[in-house]
Amino acid sequence: MATSVFALLTLPNTSKGLTALQPTVVDAVNIVGSASPRRKVARLATDSDSASASRSRSATIHKPGASIRIRILDSDGTWDKKSDSTEQFGLVRRCIKISLTRASFDVLPATYERIFSNCRALVIDYKRGEDLYGALKLELEQSLTALARIIIEESKEEIDWLANFAEHCEWFESQIALVESLLTYLDQVYVVNEHKAIPIHELAFSLFTQRIFENPRIAERLRSGISKWVISERNLRIPHNKRKNVEELVKHLIIHSQYSSFEEYYIQFTRSYYQADSADCATEFSGDPQGFFKHVMIRIQEETERSKAMLVVGSWGLVREATEKALLDNRLKWLAFETLGSYMATGDLTTLASMY
């Protein structure tokens, strides 16, 4: 008995559905008594004859419940991987843009797992690592250009501005860590095998240095904030109530490998400050060399304590040396001539040792 078309096309599992359809259609012949004209119906290219049709029939019919993979081919029979990956590429790029946009209220259009999987497919299956790497670099450049503008235009007072700058650094560092994890396959497969590419972390931080730390206006505001803080502490002889802002800044300078530049500026500024302080005090204590020397020792102690609280260990000795030389330059002979006798007479070995 012939199977009805309705039974073939029903969806319940008890039906054979489309799997029972013949994969080929042969020439239709005129049926005796039929008014229908003779016509030709298309058939598969492999079914050149009834024998080949019979062979292909058994090979193409799938078992019930088996998965079927459908691939769309171009007119020339090839598979366009790039066009097939367009949606995935666009999704990953949107996620990168949102992740690198400061103060963005947009939410990611996909879960972390989906972004991670799409990145893997783009790099491994579609071989689009180069495209994705280029898109990442472009998004980083655009993000940092916008961030530099935000930092420059902030109207905070110098020391408060330092706190805001540290917050921007912290945001960038956390977002790059996120992007690195989402684009793991780009970093560990494409970059590793492409000699012209550098790791995501290195790329991001090098661009941050170029666009942020090397921006003349930002660098000037950093120096201004640091100098205002340290001048306040040196003049008032007490820790600034916003010293924490500078501590946070120093932490991020270390992370971005910018501490050496900060240290150089700090030591140079320290030297200039205490050279001026020495000149003023030499006049004030012109008749009291012992008072001058006492002032010098207090200044050195204050600067040493500040260094230990704010700077890395390697800076402590450099700052102390700069302070001592600036305060005592061209003063040692005068101090020795005017004070050694009295110190020796009173047996003040502690002061003599300090002077030595």
Q: Residues 8-21: what's their mean pLDDT?
A: 55
Residue-level pLDDT at 282: 85
Same domain, 243 and 294: no
CATH of the domain at 118: 1.20.1310.10
With respect to residue 46, please indicate whether it lies within any of the assigned structural domains: yes
Domain shared by 144 and 251, yes or no: yes
| Six-digit token string for 38 | 């003779």
Could you give the percent of the chain with pLDDT greater than 90? 62
The answer to whether the CB of 205 falls within 8 A of the CB of 212 is no
Same domain, yes or no: 168 and 50: no
Q: What is the pLDDT of residue 134?
A: 98
Least confident of 14-23, 132-141, 205-214: 14-23
Q: Is 109 helix (H, G, I), strand (E, B) or coil?
A: coil
What is Dmax (Cα atoms) for the chain? 144
Q: Are residues 203 and 248 in the same domain?
A: yes
Give the mean pLDDT of 282-290: 81
Per-residue pLDDT band at 243 (split at 50, 70, 90): very high
Note whether 230 and 289 are same-domain residues: no
Q: Are residues 100 and 242 in the same domain?
A: yes
What average pLDDT score do residues 275-301 get?
Answer: 88
Q: What is the CA radius of gyration of the chain?
A: 39
pLDDT over 70 at 299, yes or no: yes
Yes or no: say if 228 and 159 are a contact pair by the CB < 8 Å rule.
yes
The residue with greater pLDDT, 133 or 34, is: 133
Q: Amino acid identity of 194?
A: E
Distance CA 312, CA 294 (A): 27
Residue 335, in any domain of the structure: yes
Query: Which pLDDT value is given to residue 80?
Result: 52
Q: What pLDDT does 64 receive?
A: 60
Question: Is 246 or 15 the better-scoring residue by pLDDT?
Answer: 246
Within-domain flag for 217:
yes
241 and 341 share one domain: no
The helix-helix angle for 158-182 and 112-120 (nearest 10°) equals 60
Measured CA to CA, the distance from residue 55 to residue 57 in angstroms comes to 5
Burial 190-218 (b: 16+ CB within 10 A, else e): bbeeeeebeebeebbbebbeebbbebeeb
pLDDT tens profile 108-148:
999 999 999 999 999 999 999 999 999 999 999 999 999 99
Q: Given a cut of 70, is residue 307 above it in pLDDT? A: yes
CA 249/CA 232 separation, integer angstroms: 17
Of the pLDDT bands very low, low, confident and very high (cuts 50, 70, 90), residue 345 is: low
Same domain, 151 and 116: yes
Report pTM.
Answer: 0.72
Q: What whole-number distance in Å separates Cα of residue 331 and Cα of residue 318?
A: 20
Element (H, E) at 303: helix 289-310
Q: Residue 2 — pLDDT band, cuts 50, 70, 90?
A: low
Higher pLDDT, 313 or 72: 313
pLDDT at 11 > cutoff 70: no
**pLDDT exceeding 70 applies to what percent of the chain?**
71
Residue ending a domain, among 45, 60, 75, is 60
pLDDT at 284: 87
Tell me, yes or no, whether 247 and 277 share the same domain. Answer: no
Using the 3D structure, point to which of 222, 255, 288 is the last residue of a domain: 255
Same domain, 191 and 136: yes
Counts for the chain of helices (H) and strands (E), in that order: 17, 0
Q: Is residue 332's pLDDT more than 80?
A: no
The verdict on residue 71 lying in a domain is no
Judgement on whether residues 200 and 316 belong to the same structural domain of the protein: no
What integer is the mean pLDDT of 316-345? Answer: 78
Instruction: Please provide the size of the chain in residues.
Output: 356
Looking at the fold, whether 162 and 223 belong to one and the same domain comes out as yes
Structural domain tally of the chain?
Answer: 3
Of the candidates 86, 115, 106, which has an alpha carbon nearest to the alpha carbon of residue 179? 115
336 — pLDDT class (breaks 50, 70, 90):
low
Which is nearest to 223 in space by CA: 255, 253, 256, 254?
Answer: 253
Angle, nearest 10°, between helix axes 332-346 and 289-310?
100
| Residue 45 belongs to some domain of the structure | yes
pLDDT of res. 14: 55
220, 255, 290: which is the final residue of a domain? 255
Asked whether 150 and 100 are in contact (CB, 8 A), the reply is no
234 falls within a domain: yes
Average pLDDT over residues 281-285: 85
Asked if the structure places residue 166 within a domain, the reply is yes
Mean predicted confidence (pLDDT) in 167-181: 98
Across 94-120, average pLDDT: 94
Of 54, 60, 78, the residue nearest 18 (C-alpha): 60
- Tell me what pLDDT residue 12 has: 57
Domain encompassing residue 30 = 5-60
pLDDT band of residue 349 (cuts 50, 70, 90) is: very low
**pLDDT: is 313 or 75 the higher one?**
313
Tell me what the pLDDT averaged over the chain comes to.
82
SS3 state at 239? coil
Residue 73: inside a domain, yes or no? no
Residue 350 in tokens: 């502690």
Residue range 41-67, pLDDT digits in tens: 444 444 445 444 444 444 455 556 555
Q: What is the pLDDT of residue 82?
A: 58
